[in-house]
A and B are shown apart, each in its own frame.
Chain A
Amino acid sequence: MSEKLEHFVSADPFNPLEVEELSAEQERFYMASQWRMMWWRLKRHKIAVAAGAVLAVMYLSIFITEFIAPYDLLNRHTDHIFAPPQQIHLFDQGKFVGPFVYGLDYKLNLETLRRDYTPNPTRVQKLRFFCSGDKYEFWNLFEADSHLICPAKDGTFFFLGTDRLGRDVWSRMIYGARISLTVGIVGIAISFLLGLTIGGAAGYFGGWVDNVAQRTIEILRSIPELPLWMGLSAAMPEDWSAITVFFGLTIILGLVDWPGLARAVRSKLLALREEDFCTAAALMGAPPKRIIARHLLPNFMSHLIASATLSIPSMILAETALSFLGLGLRPPVTSWGVLLVEAQNFQAVAVYPWLLFPAIPVIITVLAFNFFGDGLRDAADPYK
């Protein structure tokens, strides 16, 4: 005799997804937006994150340039011409004094006709922090005189030496960052605008629009970059004001750069516009502008940003080179390239090697942009 089993019914609520239920963590992962995933992926690329941090610090510093620089951009120390860098010390004869520099003794060497500066160990000049020094107009808004670091009263603090007019190289370098770092950004913005519009129109509409755009790109690309830069910059009139020259130069950089970007946009659009979601949007009555901007561009925006990041350094280098040749920016606008003009003569470099210091931020910035852009490019397609 078999006993009839009682029909079992679980009292728990039924969960149809029981087998494939997602943990909270998985949920977070699957629901994450594209940009969030890109961020996660970028975070794994340690060097890129570090490079990004370096860039962030540099770009933030240009907002408070006047405060960071110990001296004013144009302040001349006529009794300290071509002074060598002053080393920062912490201990004086075994005693802790805090950061200080030794004062410089000056003597004209009559044999070599060079100015000889020697640090004098008896003149301990303690650095001051959050102090008042050279007056400046902050952002042309109000006058102020507070600085992050100043020399001791009646002392000097030439961290990277001075140039032929006795101007502090370190301060000038910090001021130069303002121009050098923005040139690339403004240039890439112009190039982006042109590249997106022209490449977008060419890729989406095809036909004669595409033909015209393609031929234009081809023609521009068959003129070699460097002579084109030189020709266009030589075309800037001598009597332009320094600021106009700055914008002229960024426009030139942008004008020379956009064809590459436009090509990338066009080829991507050509492939994407055949996709079903595009047809669907068009059937629902979306105008081309909306389809390009809302449906197509977001699809490869991340790639574009990555490639733009990679082309900023070439613009910074181009500015440096053009200014160095005297075709780019001119004083009083101060960029790293303008500062390097002082180092043009290698006889001068042999005697006053600190004139080459402004090249270091150029190298750091370009390296940082390259590493950061590399990381971005890897992260740009997080679904891979």
Chain B
Amino acid sequence: MFNYFVRRILTMLLTLLVVSALVFVIIQLPEGDYLTSYIAELESQGEAVDPQKIAYLKEEFGLDKPIWLQYLSWIGGVVQGDFGRSIEFDLPVTDVIGEVFVFSLILNFSIIIFIYMVAFPIGVYSATHQYSWGDHGLTFIGFIGLATPNFLLALILMFLARKYFGTSIGGLVDPSFENKPWDFAKFMSLLEHLVVPVIVIGTSGTAGMIRRLRANLLDELHKQYVVTARAKGLPEGKLLIKYPLRMALNPFIADIGNLLPQVISGSVIVAVIMDLPTTGPVILDALRSQDMFLAGSFLLFVSLLTVVGMFVSDLLLAVLDPRIRLEGTRE
């Protein structure tokens, strides 16, 4: 077991190192760098370009150095916990991310809870009532949820909410609460504003989850141990929950690997449209303006979560399903 842990963590570190280099290269792929686009923007606005400031920025962020040197100094800092400075905001990356991070966390945890709470009962119902009208109807709704682009759903729901409930939906709290301390009213406003994004972003995840749970549970329900259990008179409810459901849970656990990074990077498009103060719009901006330390740290962080998430879900699977052995003992 110890060997497995060590090997796994070493691979994780190696993967992250390669990912960080890859990410850095991807961000640098567009022609020019942050400075050239910055200068172009100033010139298009008819403002004078202060050569001193340019020189300062160049010096400060090492933009005149070759790309591999920039990468090395950045990754060296990352290892020591210093993610560099965002050129655009002129703040440490951690400060820029930290501000939006909390909101992302709140939003995406609500989404995950929503997905599980909706997908679970529906999936079980669909599987136990296969080919019933309820199953067909729910499957169809699930398909529509998969097929509708998230941003479209967002637009429609925003439109409806505005028309029928009069809720102003941009942002995560009502504009009147901005810059005010947290109290109960502000909290309620937050809840109110959470509803639409949670539904919008949750639907596609829910649909996929329902389909997988249904398929898995159906596989299990046709196995012989279920027949045996039923033959010896186990009550239907207990029979379902105790054995097949436990097996069918595996995809839920395996999904943790995908959920963790989603906490940060999911919902980018919806967040842009709905003007949510989450990480999505920030990362999009950073990518566009080639603010490489911000975008790079961001992508690296999300990748870290992916790798850790996969690791955690592998461990959990092994704990919950005794048939799974982590150390492959194949001869």
Contacts and interface: CB of A to CB of B under 8 A. Distances in A.
A371 B303 CA distance: 33
Contacts of A224: 261-262, 265, 299, 302-303, 306
A171 interface: no
Kindly name the residue among A219, A223, A343 whose own CB sees the greatest number of chain B CB atoms within 10 A. A223
30 contacts: A221-B306, A222-B15, A222-B19, A222-B306, A223-B19, A223-B303, A224-B302, A226-B266, A227-B265, A227-B298, A227-B299, A228-B26, A230-B283, A231-B26, A234-B287, A235-B26, A237-B31, A313-B146, A313-B147, A324-B269, A325-B269, A325-B284, A346-B162, A350-B163, A356-B152, A356-B155, A359-B149, A362-B149, A363-B147, A370-B147
Contact of B152 (A227, A235, A313, A359): A359
Interface in A191-232: 215, 218-219, 221-224, 226-228, 230-232
Given A218-B11, A223-B302, 14 more contacts: A215-B15, A222-B306, A224-B265, A224-B299, A232-B29, A313-B147, A321-B149, A346-B155, A346-B159, A346-B162, A349-B155, A356-B152, A362-B152, A363-B152
A346 B158 contact: yes
A359 B159 CA distance: 15
B245 interface: no
Given A363-B144, A371-B143, A231 B155 contact: no
A130 B302 CA distance: 56
Q: Which of A234, A343, A362 has the most CB of B within 10 A?
A: A234
B18 interface: yes
Interface in B161-217: 162-163
A367 interface: yes
A223 B287 contact: no
B200 to A, nearest CB: 13
A227 B148 contact: no
B152 A231 contact: no
Q: Interface range on chain B: under 10, 10 to 19, 20 to 34, or 35 or more? A: 35 or more
Interface string A105-139: 00000000000000000000000000000000000
A356 B159 CA distance: 12
Contacts of A222: 15-16, 19, 303, 306-307, 310
B268 A226 contact: yes
A223 B152 contact: no
B27 interface: yes
Nearest to B140: A367
B22 interface: yes
A31 B228 CA distance: 39
B140 to A, nearest CB: 9
A86 B299 CA distance: 48
B27 A325 contact: no
B101 interface: no
Interface string B288-331: 10000001001100110011001000000000000000000000
B23 to A, nearest CB: 7
Nearest to B14: A215
A366 interface: yes
A230 B287 contact: yes
Given A223-B299, A320-B149, A356-B155, A235 B29 contact: yes
B269 to A, nearest CB: 5
Closest 7 CB pairs of A and B: A235-B29, A366-B147, A231-B26, A367-B147, A222-B306, A234-B287, A359-B152
Contact of A230 (B146, B155, B266, B284): B284
A317 interface: yes
Contacts of B262: 224
A353 B160 CA distance: 12
Contacts of B235: none
A366 B151 contact: no
B302 A227 contact: yes
A366 B148 CA distance: 8
B272 interface: yes
A340 B284 CA distance: 19
Given A231-B295, A363-B148, A370-B143, A219 B155 contact: no
A344 interface: yes
Interface in A5-26: none
Interface string A354-384: 0010010011001100110000000000000
A321 B269 contact: yes
B30 interface: yes
Interface in B42-100: none
Contacts of B272: 325
B273 interface: yes
Given A222-B306, A223-B303, A363-B148, A231 B143 contact: no
Contact of A321 (B18, B151, B306): B151
Contacts of B147: 313, 362-363, 366-367, 370
Contacts of A227: 265, 268, 283, 287, 298-299, 302
Contacts of B159: 346, 349-350, 353
A234 B11 CA distance: 30
Contacts of A349: 155, 159
A366 B145 CA distance: 11
Nearest to A320: B149
A236 B295 CA distance: 17
Contacts of A344: 273
Contacts of B148: 359, 363
A350 B159 CA distance: 6
Q: Interface centre among A221, A227, A346, by most B CB within 10 Å?
A: A227
Contacts of A313: 146-147
Interface in B234-290: 261-262, 265-266, 268-269, 272-273, 283-284, 287-288
Contact of B23 (A223, A317, A321, A343): A223
Interface string B130-158: 00000000000001101111111001101
Interface in A334-356: 340, 343-344, 346, 349-350, 353, 356
Nearest to A313: B147
A326 to B, nearest CB: 9
A206 to B, nearest CB: 13
A325 B287 CA distance: 13
Contacts of A317: 149
A330 B278 CA distance: 26
A349 B169 CA distance: 15
Nearest to B169: A346
A366 B147 CA distance: 5
Nearest to B309: A222
